[in-house]
Chains A and B, each alone.
Chain A
Amino acid sequence: MTLLTKDRFGFLARSELIGLVVLALLIVVVLPLALDIFRLNLVGKYLTYAFVAVGLVLCWGFGGILSLGQGIFFGLGGYCMAMFLKLESSSVENTKIQSTPGIPDFMDWNQLTSLPWFWQPFKSLPLALIAVVVVPAAFAFVIGTAMFKRRVGGVYFAIITQAVAAILTILIIGQQGYTGGINGITDLRTLLGWDIRTDHAKYVLYFVNAALLIGVLVLGYFVRASKLGRILVAMRDKEDRVRFSGYSVAGFKTFVFCLAAVLAALGGAMFTLQVGFMSPSFVGIVPSIEMVIYTAVGGRLSLIGAVYGTLLVNAAKTALSESFPQLWLLGLGGLFIAVVLAFPDGLAGIWSTHVAPRLARLTKSGSSTPVVPTGSPAE
């Protein structure tokens, strides 16, 4: 088999390709066979967070830019999708009991009598899909340009992203008539007439989501393997050296921040489709920090580790909060401390320093893969 003999496949190293194949088998074959649709739908939901975690690996792990506000972009993507779905389910015949039929129910409850201008584009699916990508990217571009041009970085940047997440949450909750308020946008039913609440639709959406995630990982590996990936690492190390080598550091930082934002937004849009609603509880500070924890647990230098980290933390969250709801937050905090203190490279670090060498010794395949200290994938 060529898989065992070739070292690189385009921009993918052999170990990365194997890791991708194993992950694809797990989420496309093993999990759908092993789980019922309720559990599989939960896994699908977790995998939408993995989009955010993969973006954070690029932005934080490689680029050294810690954003504590990725919920902003997850939310913007999710809301863009939800606005389209909501308009579709608010047809005149569906809403004829309202005093103004044809507008979303929460608008009617808040005495709005016509659709606000910024909702108009979301009548069209292509425009809504464009908005899923463009709105978060534009927002990230504004934040990134404003911060990075002024050389705001490190912990200050993290705090500002967190503040923006808090502000956006307050804005969404406060503008109930335009956004659905604290309840979010609920009661989403169909996508171009196709009922997204059936088991069949849930299966289809799960596989679309899984395929999209694999695509995002491949994109991540492409960026990582390009010269841009090395410039990100160089910026994390010695920002001034990069600047005095003729690069616009602010431009590169803004790019990777926007890329992470777009990935988060894709996750948000898939979340809305699979879960059937979007609310401010996925935008604010707490979900944003949880997403950073997924990345840290998976290993912030490992794209594929981020996916495992997300799955593991969320599986633990579900298991624990089903039996001991009050213990979960303590468990999450403990996990974060444990990762920071004991396993700074997360699951990926445990894999590459403990599991992989032992596996190599066990199989004695003869192919001694060199242990790369950073950036080695989890599988």
Chain B
Amino acid sequence: MNAPAPIGHQQAPDFLLEIENLTVSFDGFKAVNDLSLYIDRQEIRVIIGPNGAGKTTVLDLICGRTRATSGSIKFKGQELTKLSENKIVLAGVGRKFQTPSIYDDLTVFENLEISYPKGRTVFGALTFRRDAAVIERIEEIAEMIFLKDRLHERGEFLSHGQKQWLEIGMLLIQDPELLMLDEPVAGMSVAERVKTAELLNRIIKDRSVLVIEHDMKFVEDIAHRVTVLHQGKVLSEGSMERVKSDPKVVEVYLGH
């Protein structure tokens, strides 16, 4: 369970995501400082660390929301630091935000439909048709995220946990090769956490997942490998067992 996933293809020994010497500086403050991080295909990597360690900033940098001061981010060999946000999505990177970010005024069905990877240009959106394949795919995803019987409910009427699932579903329908989740179980009940872990374990089959999480129990449940960030740098990296017993990690993060 906790072992790193083997690299999928023999002819592709490279990593899915290679971050090298990444630095971002906000008015001299280096939120991310000379960071290097490599993520395998089909790996679940969890990033943990104290507040202000730069965890969310790393995700922002990968998905193009924040521009790097220096360094490189390569996704399947393609440099992401120069691409616009929507191009990064088209390359195969999906991102879930910390607070549930769904469209309150649209139904669950419509929320999922917007993320369906077709009709993303102006003309494409005008001529997009809701055909059987679209409906089938949306129903399949809705089933997976436990919202099958709420397809025609408006987003704003969902519970907090359901909104988080819906956003995960919106990413799934996009079918990204790298899925980034920012605190997916924050604010969820115990029962919802269990279901979310189950959901994540089911959806990682064909992709890599990069998760930021504080809930240690949850991290232990899902992580293949854990990276601990501190002050914008990697403090420790490896299996959960190894990271937990690392004295540096205990001191800055787990100790208290």
**Number of B residues whose C-beta is below 8 Å from A?**
34
Which of A184-192, A201-209, A227-235, A262-270 faces chain B? A227-235
A246 beta carbon closer than 8 Å to chain B: yes
Check B103–A234 contact: CB distance below 8 A. Answer: yes
Which of B19-27, B120-128, B201-209, B226-234 faces chain A? B120-128
Which of B28-36, B110-118, B143-151 faces chain A? B110-118
A7 beta carbon closer than 8 Å to chain B: no
- Report if A228-B114 is in contact (Cβ < 8 Å); known contacts: A240-B97, A247-B120, A248-B86: no
Query: When each residue 79-108 of chain B gets 1 if its CB lies under 8 Å from chain A and 0 otherwise, what string results?
Result: 000001110011000110100011111100
Check B101–A241 contact: CB distance below 8 A. Answer: yes
Check A255–B103 contact: CB distance below 8 A. Answer: no
Interface range, A side: 20 to 34
- Report if A240-B101 is in contact (Cβ < 8 Å); known contacts: A230-B110, A247-B86, A247-B120: yes
Nearest CB in chain B to that of A236: its residue: B105
A159 beta carbon closer than 8 Å to chain B: no
Q: How far is the CA of A304 from the CA of B53 in the complex (A)?
A: 52
Check B122–A251 contact: CB distance below 8 A. Answer: yes
Which residues from chain B contact A252 at a C-beta distance below 8 Å? Answer: 122, 125
Check B115–A245 contact: CB distance below 8 A. Answer: yes
B52 beta carbon closer than 8 Å to chain A: no
Q: How far is the CA of A175 from the CA of B188 in the complex (A)?
A: 65
Which residues from chain B contact A248 at a C-beta distance below 8 Å? Answer: 84, 86, 121
Check A228–B85 contact: CB distance below 8 A. Answer: no
Q: How far is the CA of A234 from the CA of B114 in the complex (A)?
A: 8
B46 beta carbon closer than 8 Å to chain A: no
Which residues from chain B contact A231 at a C-beta distance below 8 Å? Answer: 114, 125
Query: When each residue 165-196 of chain B gets 1 if its CB lies under 8 Å from chain A and 0 otherwise, what string results?
Result: 00100100010000000000000000000000
Which residues from chain B contact A356 at a C-beta distance below 8 Å? Answer: none
Q: How far is the CA of A228 from the CA of B115 in the complex (A)?
A: 12
B63 beta carbon closer than 8 Å to chain A: yes
Which residues from chain A contact B106 at a C-beta distance below 8 Å? Answer: 230, 233-234, 237
A223 beta carbon closer than 8 Å to chain B: yes
| Contact with A246, one of B89, B101, B122 (Cβ below 8 angstroms) | B89
Instruction: Kindly provide the distance from the CB of B194 to the nearest chain A CB, expressed in whole angstroms.
Output: 26
| Contact with A237, one of B85, B103, B120, B125 (Cβ below 8 angstroms) | B103
B119 beta carbon closer than 8 Å to chain A: yes
Nearest CB in chain B to that of A149: its residue: B84
A40 beta carbon closer than 8 Å to chain B: no
Query: When each residue 345-379 of chain A gets 1 if its CB lies under 8 Å from chain B and 0 otherwise, what string results?
Result: 00000000000000000000000000001100000
- Report if A230-B85 is in contact (Cβ < 8 Å); known contacts: A237-B103, A241-B101, A245-B170: no
Check A244–B103 contact: CB distance below 8 A. Answer: no
A243 beta carbon closer than 8 Å to chain B: yes
| Contact with B101, one of A238, A251, A255, A373 (Cβ below 8 angstroms) | A238
Q: How far is the CA of A243 from the CA of B95 in the complex (A)?
A: 11
A17 beta carbon closer than 8 Å to chain B: no
Q: Which residues of A contact B (CB under 8 A)?
A: 223, 226-228, 230-231, 233-234, 236-238, 240-249, 251-252, 255, 373-374
| Selected A-B contacts with CB under 8 Å, 22 pairs | A226-B126, A228-B122, A228-B128, A230-B106, A230-B113, A231-B114, A233-B105, A236-B105, A237-B106, A238-B102, A240-B97, A242-B114, A244-B65, A244-B97, A245-B170, A246-B89, A247-B86, A248-B84, A249-B86, A251-B122, A252-B122, A373-B154
